[in-house]
Chains A and B, each alone.
Chain A
Amino acid sequence: DAGVIQSPRHEVTEMGQEVTLRCKPISGHDYLFWYRQTMMRGLELLIYFNNNVPIDDSGMPEDRFSAKMPNASFSTLKIQPSEPRDSAVYFCASSFPGLLSGELFFGEGSRLTVL
């Protein structure tokens, strides 16, 4: 299996621009998670989906952030408008179906720099 695939790997943008990060989970996994990692705050859960339905978005910092999962093989995390404090590595992870708190398979991450 190819693992969790994220794109882009690196994104540099200017404040105010829209940013879209993409994720393809491992086939057959029905949980998908978006995490953000910074030196100051560590690994933070932003939102997670089960069977394409958002379950918990309490970690989404503000309305500028939105996430969708239109089908089982694709999810997006959008930031509009972006701000310098959004600079971080954004990880997508997926896990096996039906397993509470199961092993997370992380993608390689998308490193976002907002100037």
Chain B
Amino acid sequence: QQPVQSPQAVILREGEDAVINCSSSKALYSVHWYRQKHGEAPVFLMILLKGGEQKGHEKISASFNEKKQQSSLYLTASQLSYSGTYFCGTGRETSGSRLTFGEGTQLTVNP
């Protein structure tokens, strides 16, 4: 079942912060975050595993609340290069390496 992402789109000015949420109705083992720029392939940002800690990648970090089956991606002091579509992909213990991706959140950072 496809995870639900919110918001669907967000527009920021350079330097502003944003939060993208991903939730599932099923128990999750892992949450992946990817960024895709227009006309390009998705690029991996980070994985959060069940029982794992919050992770960070430069000014991009994420958390995973196992009990609520939710993950949030935090972008702080956004840069123009952060523009793109962000996807969360969720994995379940019983699904092996199969990921189900959300519909994506389109992030636009303006000067």
Contact = CB atoms under 8 A, between A and B. Distances in A.
A77 to B, nearest CB: 16
Contacts of A50: 97
The majority secondary structure among interface residues of chain A is strand
Contacts, number: 60
Interface string B31-55: 0101000001111100101000000
Interface in A46-99: 48, 50, 55-56, 91, 95
Nearest to B28: A101
Contacts of B96: 55-56, 100-101
Contact of B30 (A55, A95, A101, A108): A101
A34 interface: no
Q: Looking at chain A, what size class is its interface with the partner chain? A: 20 to 34
B40 A42 contact: no
Q: Looking at chain B, what size class is its interface with the partner chain? A: 20 to 34
Given A56-B96, A102-B97, A43 B29 contact: no
Contact of B2 (A33, A42, A107): A42
Interface stretch (B17-25, B62-70, B71-79, B99-107): B99-107
Interface of B: 2, 29-30, 32, 34, 40-44, 47, 49, 87, 89, 91, 96-104
Interface of A: 31, 33, 42-45, 48, 50, 55-56, 91, 95, 100-109
